[in-house]
Structure 1
Amino acid sequence: MADADDARDDDVLELLAGRLVQESGITKDEALELIKFIGTDWNSLLREAHFLKKRQQWG
């Protein structure tokens, strides 16, 4: 049962990362890293993703 739960969690994280990529323009790897660091709070993820994207454009 734990394997099924882990797979489901991975699927949810993949979907969340994909949505973050579409909304902010960061890479999927960056999105997954933000999710690991911040968690799954959408507003926090989106704010940090936009900050990251702007920072990349400046640098």
Structure 2
Amino acid sequence: MKGDRVMKTKKSLMYLECINENLNTLILNQEMTYFIMREILKKMDRSVNKRHVKVRRKKI
């Protein structure tokens, strides 16, 4: 009985460690995506400021 409880505890701990690793990976990916998007937006802002593109809209 006690051995079963120890095994369940070890299994639960292993699951929690896996969840923790997955969450850490997710956070890192989110941070990388944020920085990439920020750089893209900076470049887009620069190109818009250089060109002063006018956009016309037409009703269809």
Kindly name which structure, 1 or 2, has the bigger radius of gyration based on alpha carbons: 2
Give the TM-score band, short-chain normalised: 0.3 to 0.5
- Normalised to the residue count of structure 1, the TM-score between the two structures is 0.43
